[in-house]
Chains A and B, each alone.
Chain A
Amino acid sequence: MNCAAILKWLSEYIDGALDAQTRAEVEKHIAVCENCKQELASLRAVVEELGALDPVKPPADFLEKIHERMETRSGFNKILRKLFVPFHIKIPLELAAAATVTILVVLVLNIQQPEIQMMKLPAASTSQRMAEKPKEGLIKPDLKKEAGRPTPVFEEVPAKASDAENVWFARRSSTKSVPPSIQVESEPKSSVLAKKKASQFAGKGHSIELALVLKTGAIGGAYKPGIAMQAAPLLENDESTVEKKSARTDSFERKIDARRRDRATDLLPRMEYIIDHLQGKVLTLEYDRHAGQLKSIFAEIPAKNYKSFCRELTGLATFQSPPPGLTNKYPEMIQVRIRFLSD
């Protein structure tokens, strides 16, 4: 065996880990080889020096420090363990809970937004407020016993009053009307009841039914000349139709009808002026609470002024059908019911 091979075995020879045959060969070689002998000696010295080193000891509080570190970590780990262990159960559950909460929050916000918008809506026009204002089913004119013309419940001047309307108001303020002889109560909630109230006056004179169709656009712009003056009695079922319509309380539809309602209420002061000018008086106003619309005016006018009255009305709206003519059998004062219809 040569020196290179012997050098490979020296480490194991030092540890006594060689088999007997290899050990014998190594010993035989180093007995005659000075270099390998010195090599063996130096390696053995290193091993002995390392083996003779005093062990490095830990500090006296080593165990205490371990306990301190364990206690510090355990509190935090308990929380983590409670939250996340076992992972395959708690993490999916927690994710599902977080997703559910997020969905609920989004749903609640989405539901609240339309409500918030709806709450903001009634920055309504004055005329719309006027139409909504009366809560009773029947609007009574604010009849004043002292000299003065009957004034409707809608005290406010329509916001959309045009110059033409202003003229009407001016005229209105300058005239004196015959004080009404009948006081109307406010109770009835339905238009049917209003009709009954109106029928109380029927016996005092003949009641003529007129129907005005309100059109979009300027008030009075729907004048159609040449309409024959023939009767167009209203049927009973028209009332039920109104009731059906009045059953719609949807605020959205109320918005759609707002313009029509405005036209109806805008007509009221004009109607009052006309009636007043023709020496008549407004007896009742029929207001559809559900639809928020002025449905009809029941008035009493001198028979002799009936034609003038119809002529004035054509300036405001269009008759649904030609108004009936008067015969000689009609008394001095006649009662007229003007219904407002939407186009």
Chain B
Amino acid sequence: MKSQAAAAVAGQWAGEQADAATATAAQSLTAKLPARTLALVVYLVLLLLPIYWMLNMSLRDNNDIMTRLALYPEQPTFHNYVKILTDPAWYMGYVNSFAYVSLNTVISLAVALPAAYAFSRYRFLGDKHLFFWLLTNLMAPSAVYLLPVFQFYSALGLIDTYLAVALAHTLFNVPLAVWILEGFMSGVPREIDETAFVDGYSLPRFFIVVFLPLIRAGVGVTAFFCFMFSWVELLFARTLTITAAKPIAAVMTRTVSASGLDWGLLSAAGILTIVPGALVIYFVRNYIAKGFALGRV
């Protein structure tokens, strides 16, 4: 309590002497920097170890893997990767995954943007109930919907199409997108909207020309999250596809053959599923933290 009161006073004081004391205070408070850095490095190493082990496996052939435990591939081979990237039965899995993930991201953003704007700017009949209903879908167990969605989509003739998986994934991605976007949009002052309307902008034109550029970080983060959740989900993706739209994650079961499991091949396929995530994450790295806080920090 005491330090909170002091903080308010010191806040004013600091405002006046801003350049003198900035940044150094936070540092000197935590002077034990080496210990902190060490703890962080240890954590990151532990975090990467299981992924490293899979990378290690992916660069060895199955005989080598089964005969001895090696901390690093002594005779690295790209044989597993070559096999995956040259066999259509394998690489089409990646193409399929990308196709439905992209389609899902586009659909989710297209319906979530106007909805999030409505929630952030207007009150309307049943708005709170609608928002709550939306959230319940984010938390609905996929397993509950699995069988009925399969039967429903079968009746519509959607099974084994990109659209089927993309639509099924909107079940949780649309609520998520509305939620994150609403957080970012509420951070933009209403005065901007009002000024634009006085200047004679129509709502659609204002939204596209003025508003979207203002929240582009939020749109990027939302697209990232739609990509992420559609990419990692397997229960729907596997159930709603047979061959033509089968995701890579489901194709991975192919590594079980008569001679047992091909660990090297399985690992290479796994590593290749990590690469797209690592690439998109780089583009949103400065917004990740805020995005996970759903735009509400």
Are A and B bound to each other?
no
